[in-house]
Amino acid sequence: MNIPISILDDWEIDVLNDEFDAYRGVFSQMVYCLDTISLYPGFMQLKKMDSNAPDPYTIWGYSSFYGFHYAYNYKTDEVVLLDDHKSPEPSIYCAVSDSRFLDCLHIIAEYFKLQLLDPEKAATEKEDWIEKAAEAAGGKKYYFHCQILIG
């Protein structure tokens, strides 16, 4: 993404197993194929999937901002943040599906790039980028999560 070499180390993602079975889905690939993602403030992936979550969720990540767990609803494909391992009620809605979640993260990464290269423009356009990320995630329902990630 044309990140300046001076900060490239902060944006490194190591592929642990590039031949992982794609059938298992996006989050399985993220958890089992990548080393910890540190691109996004407050966003951490787990080392393995955690099925010890209320039905119909599988936990795959963690938000250090809130202490909530990123969870994937395997019945609806929706990505949410759960604040409790036992409660099936999401605290924050993140994306309509796993692929749309990645689309959202891509938009946010583009914003972070702009923030590095042109901080004034990024500050001026911040609200537009949040809306663009929310649209990529699936609509206004996911605005708050995008706002959290962009900061």
Q: What is the pLDDT of residue 134?
A: 97
Most confident of 2-6, 63-67, 107-111, 118-122: 118-122
Domain map (residue ranges) of the chain: 5-150
The pLDDT confidence band at residue 15, using thresholds 50, 70 and 90, is very low
Rounded to 5°, the CA angle 22-38-40 comes to 95
Q: What is the pLDDT of residue 53?
A: 83
Q: What is the mean pLDDT of residues 9-34?
A: 55
Q: What is the pLDDT of residue 30?
A: 65
As a whole number of angstroms, the distance between CA 57 and CA 35 comes to: 23
In this predicted structure, the answer to whether residue 29 has a pLDDT above a threshold of 50 is yes
Residue whose token pair is 């490239």: 8
The alpha-carbon radius of gyration of the chain (Å, integer) is 15
DSSP 136: H
